[in-house]
Amino acid sequence: MSNREKAIIIGGGISGKLAARVLSDFFKEVIILERDDETNGQLARKGARQGDHLHALLHAGQYGLEALFPGITETFHNNGAVKINSTKDLAWFHHGVWKLRYDGGKSTTLQSRPHLEWHIEQYIKNISNVTYLYSQNVKNLLHQQEGNRIYGVEVSTNDGNSKTLTADLIVDASGSSSLTAHFFKKLNIPIQIEKVAIGLCYVSKTFRLPKSQTRDWKIKLIYPNPPDEKIGGTISKIENDQHIVTIIGYQNSIQEKEVLKDESGFLHLANRLPKADIYNELIHAEPLSKTTVYRVPHISWKRIDKTKQLPKGLLLIGDTVCRIDPVFGQGMSIAIIEALTMQKLFKNNNDDLDKLQTTFHKKIAKILSPIWNMVITEDFRYPGVSGKKPFGLSIQQWYSKHIFLLSSKNQKVYESFIDVMNLVQSPTILLRPWIVKKVLVHRFFMKRKDN
């Protein structure tokens, strides 16, 4: 434990909780300020409405969570989360082909987001120097002109009172609705924001499926084949013998009114998927929840790493920095990787918080850059998507399409792709000479077939 006194974390979502876990080893006191009221059980919160929708935890997130909270994976399983074989129990229809299915020896945990978050919260509450305060709306950051430093926050509580709290470090983990960008504007500190408009809509509902002798998957993904197909869907087993079904539509292809008009709205939407598998499962299923809708009009990446005159005493983490296209299931795992990065820096740091701040934001930008690039490369397959395109877009799209198609035929290529998708390996591994050769041979045979 160092002699640093107090850290305040704005937002008690995934990033806020992870930051608290990390900072509890380096500060005498850590306070999480969460705007939402305390939930009664494992429910999606108002401040993290996306909790009603399918949340996949990738391998990198799973390994990172286990490193931060030893034993948590077993806790998830003991309390109902579903342990699956990552390649055998996943049926994935992608770019018009089914991925291979085999026992690759790796496992994935399926559970709802509230189940996952609630269990993390119980671990956090057992850390003696972390205080988790609910119903605390952070309204403002306290800034000292001299030295350009954030030294505290102004908070309003739901009884209408206001208070100020000061700390040695403030962490903004308040997600995509973060007030930091707005606050910087008032201080005349420009932030470069990369924004890509994807017009994405999520629609979800949980069901109990009838027993089946032939159902040989635990999670099934039907992805749209862009640019013609815009709607995709997933059905996944989760805790308490439930299945969550999430249907996504790019480019404003889902009309909320249609879906919410009555009970049949969801079924009609499932019937618009490129394959009938999910619809067929739902015909005789028992609905367990209401239908919920969540829109992601655009994704964005605030380039904090490039922000000149960034006030000292402030770290930003998770969706506060980057909200990535959720269809790729990476957001929570990115937050976990960022928390581990924070931990490493604090472990190696000789008490220079200002230097740590710069290094942290540069390091997370390095983590985000290939992921952002990979995701928007896919998003830009839709002609209506607007924003800054990545360099060499068409060649990247051409290459990744071959990787997707090869994943239905070649186990070694699929394994490399899985590691990249699960954020365990950098996308550059897909450029290894043996994979490039496979792609070129694949292209040659496809061309011959076409002629």
Ligand X SMILES: Cc1cc2nc3c(=O)[nH]c(=O)nc-3n(C[C@H](O)[C@H](O)[C@H](O)COP(=O)(O)OP(=O)(O)OC[C@H]3O[C@@H](n4cnc5c(N)ncnc54)[C@H](O)[C@@H]3O)c2cc1C
Question: 202 or 207, CB closer to ligand X?
Answer: 202
Distance between CA atoms of residues 234 and 175, nearest Å? 25
Question: 45 or 59, CB closer to ligand X?
Answer: 45
Q: Which candidate, 82, 140, 143, 131, places its Cα nearest to that of 111?
A: 82
If binding is defined by CB under 6 A, does position 332 make contact with ligand X? Answer: yes
Distance between CA atoms of residues 244 and 58, nearest Å? 17
Bridge partner residues of 296 (DSSP):
200
How far apart are CB 445 and ligand X at their closest, in Å?
Answer: 35
Question: 202 or 399, CB closer to ligand X?
Answer: 202
Question: 12 or 405, CB closer to ligand X?
Answer: 12
Within 198-227, which residues bind ligand X (CB under 6 A)? 202
Distance between CA atoms of residues 91 and 73, nearest Å? 23
If binding is defined by CB under 6 A, does position 114 make contact with ligand X? Answer: no
If binding is defined by CB under 6 A, does position 331 make contact with ligand X? Answer: yes
How far apart are CB 56 and ligand X at their closest, in Å?
Answer: 4
What are the angstrom distances between the C-alpha of 107 and each of 70, 99, 430?
17, 17, 22
Which residue has 């209408």 as its token pair? Answer: 160
Burial class (CB in 10 A: 0-12, 13-18, 19+), 432: exposed
Within 24-83, which residues bind ligand X (CB under 6 A)? 33-36, 45, 47-48, 50, 53-56
What are the angstrom distances between the C-alpha of 288 and each of 42, 282, 350, 403?
15, 12, 53, 38
Residue from 86, 108, 137, 416 touching ligand X (CB under 6 A): that is 137
How far apart are CB 331 and ligand X at their closest, in Å?
Answer: 2
Distance between CA atoms of residues 202 and 322, nearest Å? 19
If binding is defined by CB under 6 A, does position 10 make contact with ligand X? Answer: yes
Q: Following CA atoms 77, 82, 85, 86 in sequence, which dihedral angle do they give, to the nearest 10 degrees?
A: -100
Using CB under 6 A, count the residues that bind ligand X: 40
If binding is defined by CB under 6 A, does position 175 make contact with ligand X? Answer: yes
How distant is the alpha carbon of residue 152 from its chain centre?
A: 28
Residue from 6, 7, 8, 15 touching ligand X (CB under 6 A): that is 15
If binding is defined by CB under 6 A, does position 333 make contact with ligand X? Answer: yes
Residue from 64, 318, 419, 422 touching ligand X (CB under 6 A): that is 318
If binding is defined by CB under 6 A, does position 330 make contact with ligand X? Answer: yes
Contact residues toward ligand X (CB under 6 A) are 10-16, 33-36, 45, 47-48, 50, 53-56, 136-138, 173-175, 177, 179, 202, 294, 296, 318-320, 326, 329-333, 335
